[in-house]
Amino acid sequence: MGGHEDPWLVRIEDDGRRVHGAGTLLDEAYVLTCAHVVEQARGNAGGDVWVRVAGRAQDPYRATVVPCCWQPPLPEHRGDVAVLRLDRPVAGAPRARIRRTWQDGERVRVFGFPARTDNGQRVDAVLRSYDFSHERIQLDAVREPRVHQGFSGAAALADSGEILGVIAEVRGPQAESSWMISARALQAYASSVIDDYLVRRPSRDERFSHPAPEDHQTLDHPVRLALTQQLVAWLGSDGPGGVCAVGGPGAVRVVSRLVGLTVPAYRAAASALAPVADAPAGTLPPVGGVDAAVDATGKPTAEIAQEVATSLSLPTDTGVRLVDQLEELGSPVVVVVNSVDAAADPYDLYQRVLRPVAVRAPEIGVRLLLGYRELGGGDRGSVAYPRGAVAADLAGLHARHGDGELPGAAERVGSLDRLVAAVREVAAAERDALTVYQHVAPRISTVPEQRVAAAAALRVRIGLLKEIGGVPEQNAALAEPAVRAWLAGELAACTAAANKALARAQDRSRELTGLLAHRDRLRARLDAYRAEAAAHGLVEDLGDSYEAARGLLYHGLCDLDEAERRVADYHAAVRHRLDSPADSDANGRTDAGNRAHGGARGGVW
């Protein structure tokens, strides 16, 4: 149990001591359960809700709802969260621990109160996948008994005793699956209480816990303000993962502030400098909105990978293959690495940790945000970054593509509309390329390494462009010459990046499809050679040579170069037998075959 005590089980009752479900004691004062359990206990008359604690059943506690932590069931199987406050503390209660991340197939145990089991019953299940609303997680039964009526409101506990969710929806007695509300959804509806029980902070770095004096000035510049808004929106959005890189001293501050404001301690300290509640719209990320964050300054690669793994409750003794661990997570995560180019070895960090995650991010549900002190300058060999996923370079607000004039408002609007359409096309092409890759990679051993997708970063860039350059009469930022120059250059740069990303994704699909077509042509050649061998009675004699080629083409990963050689070897063996009368006379079959074909040497090969 890792030295931690499990949170205490409670029973939710009405005034008549009828049991309506379960709950979990978070500490001496609070109980976590489902809103529908509380509603049932209240009844139509709005009676009191009572809580009985395991081991103290003779001492009931009156409970009231914490208003800011109350969300009745919503359509599409959402909501249904409640936190109760007890009328007096439960002496000696342990402090619960809530974990936001989980692994596909992770085993949990649940204690509930099905009919005729007032003392409770334990069941075991495994976690599988999110539902359509992305708030609930499927639980599959391990064995009898199963999660069924009477378990609503109960916590699903990991082996370590951490709360991974709350049972909200159960099936009939014979159903294989039930559903729990994820810890992320619990936090979304009851953040003011739930945040205090999260098992991990996103980072151990002090700079994400205590704001620097200048952090409150980060949004003073319009471009940094707009960038922050776009990053907050992207990191909090649904859909596939992706990677986004931002650069420049201003960008590093943007990232530091963004991560910090997801941490309660930083947020409280930041309010002392400038009221967080007064922050511009769209610049305040939700508490807990970042799952893991590291400032790479001066740190070696292994330490950075270990810090990310620790924040995500992943094993930390598996070297730097962080992407393999992230793939095992059942939940999407937001990972931030700031000051990448200030790491002990930036190139090693990027090649061994960040790039493997970046190329897999869309398929494994990772949003990876990378902050650099510089982009576009320095030694490209030592300071690597995902060139296809650069969202902004704020090292200097200047034109990147010459000193072109800023287009007029109407032309800018047209350019932005075309860019939006282009990025949709890029996203579709990258999805298609990923689908083709996932089909080809298990079949061909020589598949080239995946590339970093650009769609996520391009969306951030376009949002930034629209915010700065959309309607000039409403945007005072365009009065600054540096901003106008930056906008002109960024419009051109973004268009070029979108065109390049689209071409790259389309070329990728063609390349992958071509590998499969090459294998299929080799199969067709092998079939044709075997048909020729069969026509002359040579199938059995040349079976070993045929199977050597066929095994490569039809079983497991196909090495196309080796398969080409094996097919050529089989062809040569067939031709040798057909062109060697002495060998044919020795077994008689080829001679007979030649007579049957009028003495022809057979075949077109």
Give the tens place of pLDDT for each residue, 346-388: 999 999 999 999 999 998 889 999 999 887 654 444 577 888 8
pLDDT, the chain, mean? 84
- Classified as helix, coil or strand, 111 is strand
- Asked if pLDDT for residue 415 goes beyond 90, the answer is no
Which residue did the predictor score with more confidence, 544 or 409? 544
- Supply the pTM of this predicted model: 0.78
pLDDT at 592: 38
Percent of the residues in the chain that have a pLDDT greater than 90, as a whole number: 45
* Cis peptide bond N-terminal to 145, omega within 30: yes
What residues are paired with 130 via a beta bridge? 137
Residue 454: closest CA among 464, 444, 462, 443: 462
Q: Distance (Å, rounded) from C-alpha 38 to C-alpha 27?
A: 19
**Residue intervals in the chain for CATH 3.40.50:** 201-396
- Asked if pLDDT for residue 534 goes beyond 80, the answer is yes
Which residue did the predictor score with more confidence, 464 or 112? 464
pLDDT at 150: 66
The arrangement of strands across the sheet holding 333-338 comes to 292-295, 333-338, 366-372, 242-247, 390-393
**Residue intervals in the chain for CATH 2.40.10.120:** 8-197
Q: Distance (Å, rounded) from C-alpha 290 to C-alpha 334?
A: 5
Q: Distance (Å, rounded) from C-alpha 155 to C-alpha 157?
A: 6
Q: Distance (Å, rounded) from C-alpha 6 to C-alpha 31?
A: 14
- Asked if pLDDT for residue 402 goes beyond 60, the answer is no
- Give the least confident one: 190-204, 316-330, 378-392, 565-579: 378-392
Q: Could you tell me how many residues make up the chain?
A: 605
Residue 72: closest CA among 63, 82, 64, 62: 82
Q: Distance (Å, rounded) from C-alpha 566 to C-alpha 549?
A: 5
Q: How far apart are the first and last CA of the chain?
A: 69
pLDDT at 118: 61
What is the tens place of the pLDDT at every residue in 185-242? 998 899 889 888 887 778 878 888 888 877 777 888 888 888 999 999 999 887 788 9
CATH code of the domain occupying 201-396:
3.40.50
pLDDT at 428: 95
Kindly indicate the confidence band of residue 117, based on its pLDDT and cuts at 50, 70 and 90.
Answer: low
Note the CATH architecture for domain 8-197.
Beta Barrel (2.40)
The one-letter amino acid at 192: S
